[in-house]
Amino acid sequence: MLGAWMIWKHRNECVLEGATPSMSSLLRTFEDEHHLWCLARARKLNSLSAGQGHGLGG
C-alpha cells in the first residue's frame, strides 16, 4: 500500500506540478516515508527492511 501511495503522489507531482519523473527521487522518498511509518509503529512495515541495513537497498 505504501508503494502504491508513493507512486501515486510522485505521479501527481509530475502531472500537476511539472516535476521531472525520477526513480531515484521516488525511492529516496519511499525510504524516508517507510522510516516514518515504522517509527509510528505501522504494522508489518519493519519486515520490509529486515536484513537490508537502514532502509531499502541500503
Tell me how far apart the alpha carbons of residues 31 and 40 are, in angstroms, rounded to a whole number: 14
Residue 41 located in a structural domain: yes
Domain with 30, as residue range(s), is 2-14+24-46
Tally of domains within the chain: 1
Residue 34 located in a structural domain: yes
Tell me how far apart the alpha carbons of residues 30 and 7 are, in angstroms, rounded to a whole number: 9
Sign of CA dihedral 5, 10, 14, 17: positive
Which among 27, 32, 34, 36 is positioned nearest to 2, based on CA atoms? 34
State the average pLDDT over residues 9-23. 95
Residue 19 located in a structural domain: no
Tell me how far apart the alpha carbons of residues 51 and 24 are, in angstroms, rounded to a whole number: 21
Indicate the pLDDT class of residue 51, thresholds 50, 70 and 90.
very low
State the average pLDDT over residues 49-53. 50
Residue 54 clears pLDDT 80, i.e. is over it? no
